[in-house]
Amino acid sequence: MSNDYKSLSHCRYLVQYHLVWCPKFRFEVIKGDIEQSLKNILAKVCNKYQYEILELEVMPDHIHIFLSAKPTAAPTDIVRTLKSISAIKLFKEYPKLKKFYVRCGSLWSKGYFVSTIGNVSSHTIKRYIQNQKSN
């Protein structure tokens, strides 16, 4: 078995998701200090909820995160947790960002992308995320 596999008391697993979501209206608002703050927030949330970040890149108008989670964590719950906590913390830290989105009331768009890595290797996904800013 690969070293990537994890264990719980009664199971061995490899659950990895590539997640992508965008700010409302895909505005390019995640840059500068906000970008770094978001990376820190996501790292703390993932640590708290025991999601392991395998790769992360924050673009001005969307986020790519490749993570490993326990099989009991549904992808929709992972996304909801990451989006809600990060929006609350970013709005608190950056009042101008909150003011910018005051009319619609939320930072993140409702939708998101999720993929397991069944058809491609984790190396391919990592390389794709790492190369986001060079495209």
Residue 124's pLDDT is what? Answer: 85
The average pLDDT across 51-80 equals 97
**Tokens representing residue 18 in the block:** 């590539």
The average pLDDT across 119-125 equals 78
Residue located via tokens 């992808």: 75
> Catalytic pick from 5, 13, 17, 128?
128
**Tokens representing residue 40 in the block:** 């820190």
Going by C-alpha positions, the residue among 114, 120, 25 that lies closest to residue 78 is: 114
For residue range 16-46, what is the model confidence (pLDDT) as tens digits?
A: 999 999 999 999 999 999 999 999 999 999 9
How much is the pTM?
0.86
Residue located via tokens 């101008």: 96
Between 1 and 135, residue with greater pLDDT: 135
Contact 79, 19 (CB under 8 A): yes
The average pLDDT across 112-130 equals 84
Does the annotation mark 128 as catalytic? Answer: yes
Going by C-alpha positions, the residue among 59, 78, 80 that lies closest to residue 18 is: 78
Residue 118's pLDDT is what? Answer: 61
